[in-house]
Structure 1
Amino acid sequence: MTDPELMSIGAFAKLAGLTASALRFYDDAGLLRPEQVAPLTGYRFYSASQVARAAQLRRLREIGMPLPAIGEFFTAGAEEAARLIDEQVARVTTEAAGVRQAAETLKASLGQEPRRTICVLPGPVLAAAVDQVLATTVHDPDAPVLSGVRLETDTGSVALTATDRYRLATRTLVPAEPAAGSWAGTLAGDDLRAMTSRLRRSRTVTIEAGERTLGIRTAGGTVLHCRLLTEDFPDHRLLLDSLPAVTHRVTAGKRQIVRALERWAPERAGLRVSGGRPSLLLPDQDEMALDGSATGPGLTIWFELTTLYPALSHAIGGDVLLDLRGPDQPATVRSADDGDLTTLVMPCRTPES
């Protein structure tokens, strides 16, 4: 006898948002067994308690999770299951970036888009610069240009700038050969992110500008294509020019601060200026004197770890300059070594507030 509370495969399929053929497939794959199978007819019957698992299975397939991983998902605890989802999203994101890059290459091959050589840069240096400024981008559906990187050249320098409107990073590079005049455009950050490993393996790269894409030619002759975004990039120069005057300047070793932040991983970290000396404040830890110097009267300023750490960890060279403007004004983190990197970071409230 079939339990009257059980549903036929057709009724269950409608409730679960799957087809009957898909349910048969998942049964054969061992992922969603029916509650009961009629011995004479082979008809499958399902219970209402299986709807949640069927819905999870449908969503896992929507994100492209392969069947073996789905089997692991259903036997895993919550933390492990979340990790499997994150790994699948990372795979899909990587694949999508590869598809976009291949699509741009195909479109570029359809016609000989006129290109102009802009400059020649060391590949590893460009890759590092891309990593440094990409930390300041954000994916905002209402402002897709904030996921991009502004590239500007003149005869003696190449500048990459990114901003999420709360932070700003500008990395200036010295070209291996003088740049061929001025050029400016906003590059798709996802495309840049996808090509950084190849840039690192090329001794030099030649930047070539077209109307729709930017070509980056490696030393081996391969051209990597990066989309040009058409939206207006925020006026970062206006932002920098409108900053209040600097009231304090701190010079400190980057490694000492970064190591402390990595070791203790506080939610917030403070910087104190007192008697011409800087120190680092970490909740529940003793005040740490920093190897460096400071100008200006006494000041304590706090930063979120997620804001301060990227600015310091991506700094170039061994030392950083921090230009401070008060506890509620943007601070500028500056570093220099074969070019320079400038990053704006916003302070936050004190841990007690």
Structure 2
Amino acid sequence: MTNPELMPIGAFAKLAGLSASALRFYDDACLLHPEQVDPVTGYRLYSEAQLARASQLRQLREIGMPLAAIGRFFSAGPQEAAQMIDHHVAEVAAEAAGIQRAAATLKASLGEAAHLDLCTLSGPVLAAAIDQIAATTMHNVDIPVLNGVHLESNPDAISLTSTDRYRLATRTLVPNQPSAASWAGTLAADDLRAAASRLRRSPIVTLEANEQTLGLRMVDRTVAHCRLLTEAFPDYKLMVSSLPAVTQRVTVEKKGLLKALEQQAWERIGLRITSGQPSVLLGDRVLELDGNAFGPDLTVWFELTTLYPAIGHTLGNDLMLDLRGADQPATIRSADDGDFTTLAMPCLETS
């Protein structure tokens, strides 16, 4: 005798958002067996308690998880199951990024003859600059251009700029020969990161611009194509030119400052100037820094996730921080080499 509280496959399929044929398939695949099979008619009957598993099964198929992995998913604990989802999504994202790069290369080949040679650079130097600048990008579905690196070429220099709205980083490179033309475009940071390992193995790289990509031609004549983003890059030059005057300047050793920031995982870090002595505030602790400061006493608070990478990617061991008050962007640069500059936004004072 069948249980009257069970529902036939059609009704269950409607509630679960699946088709009856899909339910039969998942039954045969040992992923979702019916609660009961009518011994006379052979009809599959399901319980309301099975809807949660059916819904998860539908969602897992929507993100493309293979059937074999789904079987392991249902036998895993919550933490392992969550890790399986993250691993699968990462694989899909990597595959999609590879397809996008391949498509960009294919499209660029359609008009390969129509490109503009900008300049040549040292491959390892360009790769290092990409590592520095790409660290200030972020994935934001609402503002895709934040995962872009703005490249500007003029006769004397190549500049790379990125921002995640909390930091802004700029690196300037001098080409081996004066640039042939002025050009500007925003490149997909993911494509630049993917090309960096090849750039490190190429002593020289030639930058070739066309309508859809910027090509990086290696010494072996192979080309890595970086997609051009269509969204307008933020007007960072206007922002920089509108900054208030510097009121305090701090010069410290990078190694000592990083060591202080690494001591404990504080969410917020205070940078304090007292009578010309710089120090960092870590909760109730005050650690003096080996350096000097000019200007009135001041304490500025930063999120660790903003300040640490801004410090870590600077050049050399001597840092210069230009401050403009507790609520204005701080400029961070190498004291002896100013071609890599970062702006870091402070946060509200912590209690």
Same-fold call, TM cutoff 0.5: yes
Q: Quick one: structure 1 residues 272 and 23, their matched pair in 2 at CA, closer, same or farther if it must change by over 3 Å?
A: same
CA distance in 2, matches of 1:145, 1:172: 20
CA distance in 2, matches of 1:130, 1:232: 20
Who is 1:289 aligned against? 288
3-state secondary structure, aligned to 2:228: strand
Displacement of 1:311: 0.9
Who is 2:123 aligned against? 123
Who is 1:349 aligned against? 348
CA distance in 1, matches of 2:53, 2:275: 64
Displacement of 1:218: 1.9
Who is 2:192 aligned against? 192
Q: Quick one: structure 1 residues 235 and 11, their matched pair in 2 at CA, closer, same or farther if it must change by over 3 Å?
A: same
Find out whether 1:148 has 2:148 as its counterpart.
yes
Ranges in structure 1 where 5+ consecutive residues have no aligned partner: none
Displacement of 1:246: 0.7
Q: Deviations over 1:196-225 (max 9, x none)?
A: 333333333211011221111122221111
Who is 1:134 aligned against? 134
Q: What amino acid maps onto 1:26 in structure 2?
A: Y
3-state secondary structure, aligned to 2:269: strand
Find out whether 1:314 has 2:313 as its counterpart.
yes
Who is 2:110 aligned against? 110
CA distance in 1, matches of 2:290, 2:182: 40
Between the aligned residues of both structures, percent identity stands at: 66
Q: Deviations over 1:94-134 (max 9, x none)?
A: 11111111111111223335111112222232223223222
3-state secondary structure, aligned to 1:215: strand
Q: Quick one: structure 1 residues 150 and 6, their matched pair in 2 at CA, closer, same or farther if it must change by over 3 Å?
A: same
Find out whether 1:267 has 2:287 as its counterpart.
no
Displacement of 1:77: 3.1
3-state secondary structure, aligned to 1:108: helix
Where does 1:143-292 land on structure 2 (aligned, <5 Å)? 143-284=143-284, 286-292=285-291
- Greater shift in the superposed pair: 130-139 or 93-102: 130-139
Q: What amino acid maps onto 1:298 in structure 2?
A: D
Displacement of 1:141: 4.3
3-state secondary structure, aligned to 2:3: coil
- How many pairs align? 351
CA contact (8 A) 1:113 1:210 kept: no
3-state secondary structure, aligned to 1:169: strand
CA contact (8 A) 1:116 1:210 kept: yes
- How does the TM-score come out when normalised to structure 2? 0.92
Displacement of 1:244: 0.6
CA distance in 2, matches of 1:56, 1:336: 55
CA distance in 2, matches of 1:42, 1:261: 67
Displacement of 1:149: 1.3
CA contact (8 A) 2:273 2:298 kept: yes
Who is 1:304 aligned against? 303
3-state secondary structure, aligned to 1:179: coil
Q: What amino acid maps onto 1:37 in structure 2?
A: V
Displacement of 1:237: 1.1
Q: What amino acid maps onto 1:205 in structure 2?
A: V
